[in-house]
Amino acid sequence: MQDPKKIRNIAIIAHVDHGKTTLVDHLIKQAGTFRENQAVEERLMDSMDLEKERGITIAAKNASFTYNDIKINIVDTPGHSDFGGEVERVLNMVDGAILLCDASEGPLPQTRFVLKKALEQNIKVIVVINKIDRSDARIQDVHNELFDLFIDLEATEEQCDFHTIYAIAREGMATLDPDVKTDSLKVLYDAIVNLVPPPTIVENAPLQLMVSNIGYNDYVGRLAMGRMRAGTVKVGDDILCIQENAQKKIKVSALFQYHVNSQIPVTEIGAGDMAIIAGIEDFTIGDTITSAVDPRPLPRIKVDEPTVGMVFSVNNGPFAGMEGKNVTSRKILERLERELLYNVSIRVEKTDATDAFKVVGRGELQLGVLIEQMRREGFELLVSKPQVVIKNEGGRKLEPFEHAVIDIEDPYVGAVTEKLGLRKGVMTNMVQKGTGRTRLEFRIPSRGLIGYRSEFLTDTRGTGLLNTNFDGWDDYRGDIQSRINGAMISDRKGEANAYSIWNKQERGIMFVNHGDEVYEGMIVGEHAKDNDLVVNIIEAKRMSNVRASGSDEAIRVIPVRPMTLEKAMEWIKETELIEVTPKSIRLRLKELDPHKRPKPQKDK
């Protein structure tokens, strides 16, 4: 068993993309955990398929390595605000946190969120200013901005006196003086070992652990992970799992600990260390695992409430069941219930319909990731436009707000400010950086940001940065106009034809290609005007006896705008749905039957 004085439990926290996973790679490598020459993949901890593809961390993950006789358990966390729930629950496992900050971008909304959570838990924070190799690095300014952030978050005097390290995570280099390069992360290891206290444990007390993460192993089933607050646990022990409204006695069937990022079986784990326990099948995050003879429940963790919901329902379109294998409402509900076991920041609510469920989460990215995972597992479903949660409190109608930090080139300030104003955003700060870029801060209803990101990128020619973070609930701000354009709707079932697509393309932007299967009520494009337009998209070129001049044979179809899940989620209106299958993303009207929907204009 590990001597608790020789353990350090830390998390690595930051805004998205500031370099957390890259730094963890090098911390693990330089600790000598791998054999010389052993090929180690980049961003080792981003092990999920979707994480590799998108280059972002979605789920918090543990790793462990030894430095100078000290065992360091580290948790890599996601930086995107939609996955903030992961950070909140991880922080109760650790005694210290590395707060990473990009040397050019400086502290951003999620830096504030994670630092606030760390200060609340009163854990030791070590500041690492990363990417000091960037040509636009503003090292001293960023240091000052971080200091201001600590003050602003009402950190204690001791907390404000933070230790700062400068790093190039990508090169595995850390230094105390940004002007002096080193060839290792030594100063960072030393800071972890010397500044982060060993885990506080209750001596001679019975077993106590809070489930902070959940895993799965093909041989032993579901795994409960967490930090041992007190006591020891051995394979074969009878223990108690205290849940929200029940408690269950179980036998520990296997125990594991992290070695680098893999789990190795052990027979016993002591206080202060990270434990992975098998044998309990039915549990969720926040449950306490404790002694069966002398049980000591821990207070449940609270995470910020989810703010954005989408309705997931059974695919009832004409192509239902053609591309996916999991299509029934029972399968969908089972899958959502499984998600709840892992995901503390998601909620599932029943709706009036038996085949539709409302899934509420932290944001569009989080919900999008869940939908994408389901499609890869063979699901077919319909999803609605993301909508914010509205609360009623003491007679007041409340909606969620975001703190948005925007970094754009000076000429776009006018356009962006105007758009956000229409979306009920209020500017709270504006700093002209003198580098040709301006930083704007807004407080804006979350509702106003739904569907805004792609517009923002277009308005800033792809050079703008937009970061947002939940900023509490406030009075409902009234109507916000959503998409202005109408949709082009297919009037029949069949195969889209190049001739028809070509024929319609001057009326708007087409979403379907030649050969795509379409059906009545399916959306095939965006109308340039504000009304919906019913079109025949399958008609082939009419043959005539007279051969026309050569020019009309070469039909020139402008490239269509293919609908990805993300684009579709931004684009749709309340009266429309996204049809998600393992192979396709289609847009459709809720009401496919033309006799049952308000009469739109017929294409002539």
Ligand X SMILES: Nc1nc2c(ncn2[C@@H]2O[C@H](COP(=O)(O)OP(=O)(O)OP(=O)(O)O)[C@@H](O)[C@H]2O)c(=O)[nH]1
- Which stretches of the chain bind Mg ion, using CB under 5 A? 20-21, 57
Site membership for ligand X, residue 112 (CB under 6 A): no
- Of 24 and 496, CB closest to ligand X: 24
* Cα(53)–Cα(40) distance, integer angstroms: 18
Site membership for ligand X, residue 138 (CB under 6 A): no
Site membership for ligand X, residue 21 (CB under 6 A): yes
Tokens of 250: 């179980």
Radius of gyration in angstroms for the set of CA atoms belonging to the chain, rounded to a whole number: 27
- Tell me which residue has tokens 């989408």: 310
CB 267 within 8 A of CB 234: yes
Contact range with ligand X by CB under 6 A, out of 14-22, 223-231, 377-385, 564-572:
14-22
Q: Give me the 29-68 binding string for ligand X, x by CB under 6 A, dash otherwise.
A: --------------x-----------xxx-----------
Going by the DSSP 8-state scheme, the letter that residue 323 receives in this structure is S
Using alpha carbons only, what angle is made at residue 258 by residues 2 and 73, rounded to the nearest 5 degrees?
Answer: 65
Tokens of 242: 């205290």
Tokens of 501: 């697509």
Minimal CA–CA distance to 593: which of 491, 525, 487? 491
Contact range with ligand X by CB under 6 A, out of 9-17, 67-75, 362-370, 569-577:
9-17
Residue nearest to ligand X (CB): 79
Choosing among Mg ion, ligand X, none, which partner's interface includes residue 130 (Cβ < 5 to 8 Å by kind)?
Answer: ligand X
Choosing among ligand X, Mg ion, none, which partner's interface includes residue 128 (Cβ < 5 to 8 Å by kind)?
Answer: none
Minimal CA–CA distance to 381: which of 339, 347, 332? 332
- Tell me which residue has tokens 């007041």: 396
CB 104 within 8 A of CB 131: yes
- Of 20 and 403, CB closest to Mg ion: 20
Site membership for ligand X, residue 134 (CB under 6 A): yes
CB 103 within 8 A of CB 138: yes
CB 225 within 8 A of CB 212: yes
> Which amino acid, 233?
V
Q: Rounded to the nearest whole angstrom, what is the least distance from the CB of residue 12 to ligand X in the complex? A: 8
- Contact pick of 10, 14, 311, 381 for ligand X (by CB under 6 A): 14
Within residues 139-198, the interface with ligand X by CB under 6 A covers 168-170
3-class DSSP assignment, residue 504: helix
Choosing among Mg ion, ligand X, none, which partner's interface includes residue 133 (Cβ < 5 to 8 Å by kind)?
Answer: ligand X
CB-count burial class (<10 Å; 0-12, 13-18, 19+) for 122: exposed
- Of 182 and 247, CB closest to ligand X: 182
Contact range with ligand X by CB under 6 A, out of 11-19, 177-185, 243-251, 259-267:
11-19
Site membership for ligand X, residue 133 (CB under 6 A): yes
Minimal CA–CA distance to 452: which of 466, 431, 432? 466
- In degrees and rounded to multiples of 5, residue 369 shows phi and psi of -65, -40
Q: Rounded to the nearest whole angstrom, what is the least distance from the CB of residue 173 to ligand X in the complex? A: 8
Site membership for ligand X, residue 13 (CB under 6 A): no
Q: Rounded to the nearest whole angstrom, what is the least distance from the CB of residue 49 to ligand X in the complex? A: 15
Q: Give me the 430-469 binding string for ligand X, x by CB under 6 A, dash otherwise.
A: ----------------------------------------
Choosing among ligand X, Mg ion, none, which partner's interface includes residue 92 (Cβ < 5 to 8 Å by kind)?
Answer: none
Binding stretches for ligand X (CB under 6 A)? 14, 16-22, 43, 55-57, 78-80, 130-131, 133-134, 168-170
